Amino acid sequence: MKQNLGRHQDAVARRSNFDEVAMGFGLEEAVTEAARCLGCKTKPCELACPVNVKIPEFVDLVHKEDLGAAASKIFETSLFPAICGRVCPQETYCEAACVLKDKFGPVSIGRLERFTADYARKGGLIKPPPCAPDTGKKVACVGSGPTSLAVAAELRKLGHAVTVFEALHEFGGVLCYGIPTFRLPREVVRFEVDMLRKMGVRFLKNVMVGKSITIEELKKDFDIIYIGSGAGLPTPMNAPGEDLVGVYSSNEFLTRVNLMEAYKFPVSDTPYYVGKRTVVVGGGNTAMDSARCAMRLGPENVTLLYRRTRAEMPARAEEVENAMEEGIKFEFLTAPVELEGDEKGRLKRVKCIRMALGEPDASGRRKPVPQKGSEFYIEADSLVVAIGSSPNPVIQQTTPGLSANKWGGIIIDEATAKTSLDGVYAGGDVVRGGATVLLAMKDGKAAARAIHEKLSAKGN
Amino acid sequence: MEHDIYSTEGLYKIVEKADLSATISKHVIYAPLIATKAKAGHFVILRSRSGGERIPVTLVDWSPENGTVTVIIQAIGKSTSEMNALKAGDSFSDVAGPLGTPVEIKKYGTVLGVGGGVGIAELYPIARAFKQAGNEVVSILGARSKDLLILEAEMASLGRVIVTTDDGSAGKKGLVTDAMKELYAAGEKLDAIFTIGPIIMMKFVAEASRPHATPTFASLNPVMLDGTGMCGGCRVEISGKPKFACVDGPMFDAHQTNFDALMKRTAAYREQEKESLEKYGKDHQCRIGLH
C-alpha cells in the first residue's frame, strides 16, 4: 500500500482564502496509514527525529484507535505535536529514515502526529502534564517563539518558575507573525500557549528585552535567563530603489498579513498594499509564504525570482509544489538589480538579470554568475524581499559582556547552551541564524536539560 | 507605592483622561514597567483593542511612583479616533515599550525647541530634560489655530515661549520658521535645536538652521509596524544610509535626513487610511469633522 499524503484544499479555491491548505486525515485514514508502520525494533525514524518523538509507539496507539494514549506518548518528548506535525520538514528527518521510503513511500508520520494532536485537542483528551513541586528557582525566557516555548515547557515540568517575555502582543514568535494561517492555524498556537499557562508558566507581552528592560536588570530578579529572541532582522538586497513605496521586507509583509490580519482590512485596521503585480525575491520557506500570502490578496499575478534553480531551493519541496499549483510564476536563475519608481516614489518596475551556475561556493552550492547583457524588466507594484534574516542585535548591543559573532549570532558553548555570561543561556535562531522551528525546539530542549542541571547543582 | 513591574494586574488601564482640544486627548495609562524605564525621547506602541493596529506615540510624561505613563494623541485617522473615544477606566489592549533610543541630554547652553501641532506634546519631556540639565530653553510652538495649541503653560514653565499660528488666532501669524529667522536676525545664540512636528515643518526647520550650522535634531515619524527593529518599515535615510527609526531613532540629525523620501513613504497607505476612516465615520458619530 502506498503512502497517504492527505487531502488538500483545491488549488484554485484556496487562492482566495487563508484557510489551511492541508486538510489532515480523518480517523479512518489515520488508522489505515498507521497500519503501514512495521514497528521496527531499531526505530530509525525515532532516532532521526530531532526531539526523538516515540514514533513507532504512538503510531501503534493510533492504529489501536487509542488517541488519548497516542497523544500522551508524543507528549513524553514533545509538547507541540500539532505545530511540529505541520511545519517540520519530515522528509529530511523521520520520514527520510522510514524503511518503507524507497519502495512504497514512508509512513506519513508528520500527518499522523498532526492528526493525533488535533483529534486529542478537539476531543478534550489533552491534559497539561504534571509538574514537579516548586523548586523556588526563577527562569526568564526572552522571546516566545518555539525555542522559548520548549524551554518553558521542560523547565516548568521540572518545577521551576518560568516567565516568558514577548516584545509583540501575541505569543509564538514566528509561529504567529511569520508562518501563515494556511499552514498553521492560530488556534493551534494559542492552545499550546494556553496549555503552558495552565502548567503555571507566566507570559508577559509588550516587553522588548534590550529596550523595555535589559538582561542585566532581569538577572537581578531571575536565576537564569534564556535568550530565544530569534533572527528577526531582515537582510536587505542593497539594490538601488529599495526605499520605494511598495517594497517590503518579508518580515514586514508577513507581520502585516499574519500577525495584524491585514488580509481582513478594513475589518482589521492594519493596511497592506500589493497592487496588480507582485514580485517576491528568494527561494526559502519565507519566500514561499510571502508569495502565497500575496497571491491570496488578489493581485493579477505573483512572480518569484530565485537566483539559482529549483534544485537548490532551500524551501520545502511541498511548499514549492503548493506555490506552483496556486499559480505563482517562478523565474529561476534570475536576480533583481534595480528597482525603478514613479514620481510619487512608488515601485513601477524591476530590472532583472539572468544568472548561470558557476563553481560551488563556500556553502557547497554552485554560485550564481550574472550573465552580461541579459537584463530585462518586470512590471511590479509591490515587491517582497525574502532573502534571509539575521539576529536582531538589540540585546547583544545592550548587554555588556555577551559575546556575539560578526553576524550578530550569540556565541554559546554547544554542549550546555551557555553564553559568555554566567546564568545566561541562548538557543534557536539567535544562535543559528534563520533556521527551522524544529531545530529551535531541539535547542530549547537541550538548553532546558543544561539549565536544570545548573539549577539542581549543590550550592545553587 | 511599590509597583510589581512583572504583574499584569490592571495593566494598560486609563487612570486619567482629559480632552485638550476637540481632537487632542491626554491619556494617563497604568504601565509600571514602562514608567520605571522611560526617558525623554522614548515612545510606546499602542493598540486600543484586539484587531486594532499598532500606533507609535511618544511618551509625554511618566511617573514611577504612580506606575503610569502619559501620552497625548491627536485623532487624525480611524485608530487614533478610536483611542481618543476611550474613557478613564477603559484599557488599551496593548502598550509596548519604552521603545527607541532616548535623546542624549547634555549641556549645550541655549536649546531651542520647535514643536508643531501635537508634536508640542512630544517636545515637552525633551525640553524639560534639557532644562533640568542646566540649559536655557527657548520654545517656538506652532499650531494651525488657537484651539489646536496645547501645553503652552507647561512649555512656558521651562523658559521663553514664542507662539505662531497659521491664522494669527494666537501669538504671531505665520510659520515656526518665521519665528526662527527672527531669532537668528536678532543675533540670539542658539546652541542646539530639537524639532518635532509635521515632516514638512521639520524639513524647513532644518533648512532654516543649516546656514547657521546650529546642530539640529528632528524626531522622525515614519510608518511603523512592530517598533522593535524586525521589519524595516520605518526605515529612513540618514547621511545616505538606511536607519530604522524605531531602534536607531526616532531622533536624528536633521541636516543629514532625507525628508523628501520620508514624506513619500508616509503617504504609502493614504488611500487605505481614508477607506478605513470613512468606514469608521459611517459606523460611529464622527468626532473629527469628517462629515
Q: Which residues contact A311 (CB under 8 A, 6 or more apart)?
A: none
| Nearest chain A CA: its distance from B228 CA (Å) | 7
Task: Give percent of chain A with pLDDT exceeding 70.
Answer: 99
The reply to whether B159 touches chain A by the CB within 8 Å rule is no
Confidence (pLDDT) at B191: 97
Q: Per-residue pLDDT for A5 more than 90? A: no
Confidence (pLDDT) at B290: 47
Question: Which of B78, B228, B268 lies closest to A167 in CB terms?
Answer: B228
| Nearest chain B CA: its distance from A93 CA (Å) | 30
Query: Residue A444 is placed in which grid cell?
Result: 530549547
Question: Which of A212, A251, A265 lies closest to B98 in CB terms?
Answer: A212
Confidence (pLDDT) at B269: 85
Q: Per-residue pLDDT for B152 more than 70? A: yes
Residue type, B228: T
Average pLDDT of every residue of chain A: 94
CA of residue B198 relative to chain centroid, distance: 10
Task: Give percent of chain B with pLDDT exceeding 70.
Answer: 97
The Cα–Cα gap between A346 and A349 comes to 10
Mean pLDDT of A79-106: 93
Which helix (H) or strand (E) segment is B47 a member of?
strand B43-47
List chain A residues with CB under 8 Å of B270: none
Is the Cβ pair A265, B37 closer than 8 Å? Answer: no
DSSP string, B95-150: EEEEES--------SEEEEEEETTHHHHHHHHHHHHHHTT-EEEEEEEESSGGG--
Q: Which residue of B has its CA nearest to A391?
A: B230
Q: Which residue of B has its CA nearest to A244?
A: B265
The Cα–Cα gap between A320 and A334 comes to 17
> How would you write chain A as a 3-class SS string?
CCCCCCEECCCCHHHHCCCCCEEECCHHHHHHHHCCCCCCCCCHHHHHCCCCCCHHHHHHHHHCCCHHHHHHHHHCCCCCHHHHHHHCCHHHCHHHHCCCHHHHCCCCHHHHHHHHHHHHHHCCCCCCCCCCCCCCCEEEEECCCHHHHHHHHHHHHCCCEEEEECCCCCCCCHHHHCCCCCCCCHHHHHHHHHHHHHCCCEEECCCCECCCECHHHHHHHCCEEEECCCCCEECCCCCCCCCCECEEEHHHHHHHHHHCCHHHCCCCCCCCCCCCEEEEECCCHHHHHHHHHHHHCCCCEEEEECCCCHHHCCCCHHHHHHHHHCCCEEECCEEEEEEEECCCCEEEEEEEEEEEEEEECCCCCEEEEECCCCCEEEECCEEEECCCEECCCHHHHHCCCCCECCCCCECCECCCCECCCCCEEECCHHHHCCCCHHHHHHHHHHHHHHHHHHHHCCCC
Give the dihedral sign, CA A407/A248/A166/B9: positive
| Tens digits of residue pLDDT in B67-100 | 999 999 999 889 999 999 999 999 999 999 999 9
Residue A140 and residue A70 in contact, taking contact as beta carbons nearer than 8 Å: no
Mean pLDDT of A386-408: 93
| Tens digits of residue pLDDT in A59-71 | 999 999 999 999 9
Q: Is B10 helix (H, G, I), strand (E, B) or coil?
A: coil
Question: Which of B37, B232, B273 lies closest to A234 in CB terms?
Answer: B232
| Tens digits of residue pLDDT in A308-340 | 999 999 998 889 999 999 999 999 999 999 999
Give the dihedral sign, CA A220/A225/A231/A232: negative
Query: Testing the interface with A: which of B9, B225, B248, B283 to mutate, by most A Cβ within 10 A?
Result: B225
Return the number of other C-beta atoms located less than 10 Å from residue B155's C-beta. Answer: 25
The reply to whether A255 touches chain B by the CB within 8 Å rule is yes
List chain B residues with CB under 8 Å of A221: 6
Question: Which of A236, A243, A266 lies closest to B276 in CB terms?
Answer: A266
Query: Residue B263 is placed in which grid cell?
Result: 514624506
Confidence (pLDDT) at A362: 80
Q: Which residue of B has its CA nearest to A273?
A: B269
Is the Cβ pair B95, A206 closer than 8 Å? Answer: yes
Q: Distances in Å between the alpha carbon of A10 and those of A22, A209, A295, A299?
A: 10, 43, 15, 19
ipTM of the complex: 0.92
| Tens digits of residue pLDDT in A199-224 | 999 999 999 999 999 999 999 999 99
| Nearest chain A CA: its distance from B233 CA (Å) | 6
Confidence (pLDDT) at B291: 42
Return the number of other C-beta atoms located less than 10 Å from residue B212's C-beta. Answer: 12
Is the Cβ pair A246, B275 closer than 8 Å? Answer: no
| Tens digits of residue pLDDT in A35-55 | 999 999 999 999 999 999 999
Q: Per-residue pLDDT for B155 more than 60? A: yes
Mean pLDDT of B19-44: 95
Residue A123 and residue A84 in contact, taking contact as beta carbons nearer than 8 Å: no
Q: Per-residue pLDDT for B112 more than 60? A: yes
Mean pLDDT of B202-218: 97
| Tens digits of residue pLDDT in A228-268 | 999 999 999 999 999 999 999 999 999 999 999 999 998 88
Out of A46-50, A268-272, A364-368, A454-458, give the one with best mean pLDDT: A46-50
Question: Which of B95, B247, B276 lies closest to A269 in CB terms?
Answer: B276
Is the Cβ pair B228, A345 closer than 8 Å? Answer: no
Is the Cβ pair A392, B229 closer than 8 Å? Answer: yes
Confidence (pLDDT) at B62: 97
Confidence (pLDDT) at A364: 78
| Nearest chain A CA: its distance from B174 CA (Å) | 29
Confidence (pLDDT) at A434: 85
Query: Residue A35 is placed in which grid cell?
Result: 497500519
Q: Per-residue pLDDT for A363 more than 80? A: no
The reply to whether A267 touches chain B by the CB within 8 Å rule is yes
